[in-house]
Amino acid sequence: MDKLLAILSVFILLMLQIGIFSNLRLLHGTPDVVLVAVIAWALNERVKTSWIWGIAAGVMVGFVSALPFGAVLAGYIAITGFARYLQKRVWQTPLLAMFISILFGTLLMAGIAIVDLTFGGAAFEVQNAFSQIILPTILLNLMISLPIHFLFIDFADWAYPLKDEA
């Protein structure tokens, strides 16, 4: 049941990403709701399915993205692993771990895109891409991170209720 819930949730988030959040632009950057949600889910200590969320997000985003499938999948798995690592190390300040993970994840996915575009022969200035796309995307991801973080805390409480100690 947990696996089905993970796949369905990631699918719904991806549809929201494609339909709504891709139209919210700051300069040329857009928020990445799937990335932020995977990080929020992975940072919750009670969650047992964070790796499934990361793999499902990598597969689904890989199918709809113009980036190479394997690179997107590896990126989401690396982001999930980084968030899980931070969750174990920075457990007393989950918002700090959330912000660090979003910064790392956004830079990693932007790096994957830059490498793909470079090998694809696209001519662009990295400094211009950084100031027009990457920094606004980081800012938008950080802005949506707080509501998503608290929403996923409640979602985890619903998915993994605490056992009564009677």
Cα gap 80→102, rounded to integer Å:
11
Tens digit of each residue's pLDDT (9 = 90 or more) over 22-54: 899 989 899 999 999 999 999 988 888 889 999
Model confidence at 164: pLDDT above 70? no
Q: Do the beta carbons of residue 65 and residue 72 sit within 8 Å?
A: yes
Asked if residue 42 lies in contact with residue 86, where contact means CB atoms within 8 angstroms, the answer is no
| DSSP per-residue letters across the chain | -HHHHHHHHHHHHHHHHHHTGGG--BTTB---HHHHHHHHHHT-TT-S-HHHHHHHHHHHHHHHSSS-HHHHHHHHHHHHHHHHHHHHHSTT-HHHHHHHHHHHHHHHHHHHHHHHHHHTT----HHHHIIIIIHHHHHHHHHHHHHHHHHHHHHHHHHSPPPP--
Range 21-26, long-range pairs (CB < 8 A, 24+ positions) = 21/144, 24/140, 25/136, 26/136, 26/137, 26/139, 26/140
Taking residues 120-145, report their average pLDDT. Answer: 90
In the predicted model, is pLDDT for residue 3 greater than 90?
A: no
Which residues on neighbouring strands pair with residue 26, listed in sequence order?
Answer: 29
Model pTM?
0.89
Which residue(s) pair with 134 in the sheet? Answer: none
Residue showing tokens 């339909």? 19
* pLDDT over 50 (residue 165): no
Evaluate if residue 105 carries a pLDDT over 70: yes
Q: Is the pLDDT of residue 144 over 70?
A: yes
pLDDT over threshold 80, residue 163: no
Tens digit of each residue's pLDDT (9 = 90 or more) over 60-99: 999 999 888 999 999 999 999 999 999 888 767 888 899 9
